[in-house]
Structure formats: C-alpha cells, structure tokens
Structure 1
Amino acid sequence: MSGKNVLIVYAHQEPKSMNGSLKNVAVDVLSKMGCSVTVSDLYAMQFNAAATRNDITGELCKPQQFSYGIETMEAFKKGWLCEDIIKEQKKIQEADLVIFQFPLYWFSFPAIMKGWIDRCFIQGFAFDFPGSYETGFLKGKRSILSFTTGGTEEMFSKEGLSGDIRYLLWPIQKIPHEYLIKLCKSHCIQRGSRVRLSRWKQEEPSKRHNTMDTAEKQYNRWPLC
C-alpha cells in the first residue's frame, strides 16, 4: 500500500464516537503503511446533501423541466458543476482506495453520506449508460465499507427483528460495483457479541484500545493493493 492514495468519507457528528475512533485508526494505520490519507469529514464540512439546480453553475439544458441526472451530466462535460462537487470528485479521482465510515441509519447510509454519493457519482464522471457495470469510469479503485449498526448481532440475523445484515447490505454494496470499484471488505461493528457501545465509552482506556486494535488488525490484514 506504500505510495497509495486513500480517501476516507466519514459521516458522524461526534469525533469521540466509535465511528470517529475507527476513522482515526484507519488514518493512523494507513499512514504508517506509507499511504497518503485524505478525510472528507462531511459533518465538519457541513456538506450539502441536497441534489438541486444549484449544483449547476451554468445554463440549464432544459430549464422548463429540470432533470438532475441530465443537467449534472452536461454540467460535468462543460465544467459547470459547483465547487464542492468538483473538489470531492478530484479526491475520488486521485484515490486508489475509498473507505466509507458511517453508522447505519434506518438500514442505509446517513443522509449526508447518501447525498455525497448522489452529488459526486454522477453520470459522465462515474458511469454512463448503457452498461454502467461493465464500463464504469472508476475501474481499478477499491473500496471498504466500515460501519456500526447500533444493534446486536442477533437483531441483524436471519431471524432477527432487523433482518439479515447480508440482505440489508446488498444495495449499499452494489453502489461501488456500478462504477467498477472493487469492494475489498465490509467491516461491521455491532453491539452485544461484538462490542457494547455504551459500555465502550465508559471502559478503561486499555479495554477501549482492544476494540481499536481489532480494527487495526483488520486494516493490516486486508488485501488493499
């Protein structure tokens, strides 16, 4: 991994949270491995999750009937996208590995991260039709989903109240595939058998470090290159 560029897209409001700690572990481990690590801290950036006409700085193709997909595709070709999208797309282009670090909200990404995906991975930049899965423009990049559930392993089992975690992850994991980004791993932290978040915050530093050590070993073990 030495010399590789890593982008961490991080969505949590609290730096001292489990997600914040996992993000810090990733930065530390990957930096020690010789990677150049960039973090898009979406809440700290106050990233705008809404996909609107304001994302296009030039003239609209069809102002009488606005189509976000068509307008952003044309704006990308002409260099008419707004500044925050251009900055994030540049980070994506430069990254060899993209890590999504987030808590699972209502069985999906937090809204601010979904908005980042909606606004950045637009047609023309990340994919085109037809055949997006075969001709995605981000071929050769890799991704990792690292997230917390806030529920126990039993809750996200086949017989659990929240349903089998594998089925919940299906649409989330399909997003990188559309752009030919290879998904290396999904790293799921659950309460109960894996870790109890409420107790974790109150534990002695040595015990809290055990949880982070597990995450560190995961990063060191994954075939990221």
Structure 2
Amino acid sequence: MKVFVVSATPEANSFVASMARSSVETMRALGHDVVHSDLYAMGWNPVASAADFGSRANGDYLTYALEQRHNVAERTIAADIRAELDKLMAADLLILNFPIYWFSTPAILKGWIDRVLVSGLCYGGRRIYDKGGMVGKRAFVGLTLGGREHMFGEGAIHGPIEHLLKPLVQGTLGYVGYDVIKPFIGWHIPYITPEARAGILADYEACLHKLDSRPILPMPSMETFNADMSPRAPAERPLAEEERQAP
C-alpha cells in the first residue's frame, strides 16, 4: 500500500512531529511505501493565487477552481502543486497530522488543501462524496488539542468534537471521495506530563496498527440526491444492500 503523510507543525520537537514520525515509521514497519510532506520544513506556500497557473483559461478574471482544471489538463500548474498532487494521487492512504488552531487546521495545512485538492481531478459538479475523485482511497487524521475531552460533547462548552472537525472530515476529505477513518485525538497535549504524552503516542502507534478495523465515518451518498442536489423522495431512493437482500 502507498501511504502519504502530511504534517503541519512549526516545532520539530513537538508532539505532532512525533506523531508524524510515528506515522511514517509505523507504516513502513508494516511494509507500506511511505512518503512524507512536512509542510513547515518544506517552506510550503499556503497562498492560492494566479501565480499557481502557467496558463490561463480566462486571463481577465481569476476563478481559481476553473483555472485548476485548465492547468492540470494543460500540465501548466505550479511545480510545487504538481509534486504534491502526484504524491496524493499515487497514495492509497492519506494521513494528516496537525494541532488544532482556532477550531481548525493550521493555515499552512489549509493552504495545502486549497492548492493541492484541485478541482476537476479531486472533485467537481456531482463528482463529490461517493462519486468524488478520491473514491477507493482512505484518509486518516491524527491531531492534537489543548482542550480536555470533557470540553467537547453534547452539552459541553465547545459542543461535539464532530462539529469542530466537520469542515475537514466531511467538507474536505469526505467531499472529495475518501473513506474517512475515525480520527485519533490527543487531548490536552501541551499541559500534561511527558509520561502521559508518551502513553498517548503509544496509543496512536497502536491505532496505526489497527486502521483496517477502525470505523469509517458515514458520509452522504449521491444516489439519495437529485441532479440539483435536493434530496430524493424516499420512494425514489435506491434500496440499501440489506433491503435488496431481504426475503
């Protein structure tokens, strides 16, 4: 299996950096072919702009997604994007390691998503969710939080963690077609003892060994929506597998 690890942390000695090293080393020890993009070490440019395009479908007005489609087809997209896109498309499994910043990803990782998950190839029109460009591939998120676990959930101060992660887990990874494996969360990382952090890192490594049995998060199915994305009436929806097999 080909694995692509993308990590985003400004500190080479951070816990997230240790998670990323574990992602690489554990997957390699399991016999997989692994490549790693350490975005800060690479000096990744997170700014999506006209400079990403060597040619233009419309030189008068920049519609970034449409220029992505054009430049991928013409092979005139920026070299740094092309290199990451090649890694992405070759990989069977994408692993993201990062700390949560302001209920979101670090800006450098958001910029990687903006520039690399290109329109036309990864998604477009009705080519989303189970019809997206990354169908047949898996994605896994291993992240850290400063908050404690009891701060998230129904009735908790920040609400369910699923709500915080939805823009990434569904709105990005699920949207382009990945089977999204249930994320791993390292809670309260900056404030706990080194021994506690070591225990969480060991739990993360154990999780990596068992990814095949970890739950896949539910995502929308395009078969339950009309061409205009409005929901189909229940009678018009295709039967689920268990319903088709019922006597």
- TM-score, scaled to structure 2: 0.81
Matched residue, 1:25: 22
Q: CA deviation at 1:125?
A: 1.7
Query: What CA distance in whole angstroms lies between the structure 2 residues aligned with 1:102 and 1:41?
Result: 10
Q: Report how many aligned residue pairs link the two structures.
A: 213
Give the secondary-structure state (helix, strand or coil) at the position aligned to 1:154: helix
Q: CA deviation at 1:224?
A: 7.1
1:71 aligns with 2:64: no
Matched residue, 1:178: 175
1:198 aligns with 2:191: yes
Farther-moved stretch of structure 1 (111-120 vs 131-140) = 131-140
Report which structure shows greater RCO (CA 8 Å, sep ≥6). Answer: 1
Farther-moved stretch of structure 1 (144-153 vs 169-178) = 169-178
CA-based RMSD of the aligned residues comes to: 1.7
Question: Please, which of 83, 88, 94 is the counterpart of residue 92 of structure 1?
Answer: 88
Matched residue, 1:108: 104
The 8 Å contact of residues 73 and 124 in structure 1, kept in 2 or not, is answered as yes
Query: What CA distance in whole angstroms lies between the structure 2 residues aligned with 1:210 and 1:162?
Result: 25
What whole-Å deviation, never above 9, does each CA across 1:26-81 have from its counterpart, x for those lacking one? 112111100111111001111111110000012x2222221111111111111110
Query: Which sections of structure 1, spanning at least 5 residues, go unmatched?
Result: none
Question: Please, which of 26, 39, 43 is the counterpart of residue 40 of structure 2?
Answer: 43
1:213 aligns with 2:186: no
The 8 Å contact of residues 145 and 187 in structure 2, kept in 1 or not, is answered as yes
Query: What CA distance in whole angstroms lies between the structure 1 residues aligned with 2:20 and 2:53?
Result: 32
Farther-moved stretch of structure 1 (102-111 vs 169-178) = 169-178
Partner amino acid, structure 2, of 1:214: D
Partner amino acid, structure 2, of 1:47: W
Partner amino acid, structure 1, of 2:140: I
Matched residue, 1:152: 148
Give the secondary-structure state (helix, strand or coil) at the position aligned to 2:97: strand
The 8 Å contact of residues 143 and 181 in structure 1, kept in 2 or not, is answered as yes
The 8 Å contact of residues 97 and 224 in structure 1, kept in 2 or not, is answered as no
Query: What CA distance in whole angstroms lies between the structure 1 residues aligned with 2:49 and 2:197?
Result: 42
Partner amino acid, structure 2, of 1:210: G
Give the secondary-structure state (helix, strand or coil) at the position aligned to 2:71: helix
Matched residue, 1:138: 134
Query: What CA distance in whole angstroms lies between the structure 2 residues aligned with 1:50 and 1:38?
Result: 23
Query: What CA distance in whole angstroms lies between the structure 2 residues aligned with 1:186 and 1:210?
Result: 17
Cα pair distance change 1:80/1:221, threshold 3 Å: same
Bigger share in strand? 1
Q: CA deviation at 1:213?
A: 1.4
Give the secondary-structure state (helix, strand or coil) at the position aligned to 2:23: helix
Query: Which sections of structure 2, spanning at least 5 residues, go unmatched?
Result: 215-247
Pair member with larger Rg: 2
Give the secondary-structure state (helix, strand or coil) at the position aligned to 2:165: helix
Matched residue, 1:125: 121
Query: What CA distance in whole angstroms lies between the structure 2 residues aligned with 1:224 and 1:67?
Result: 41
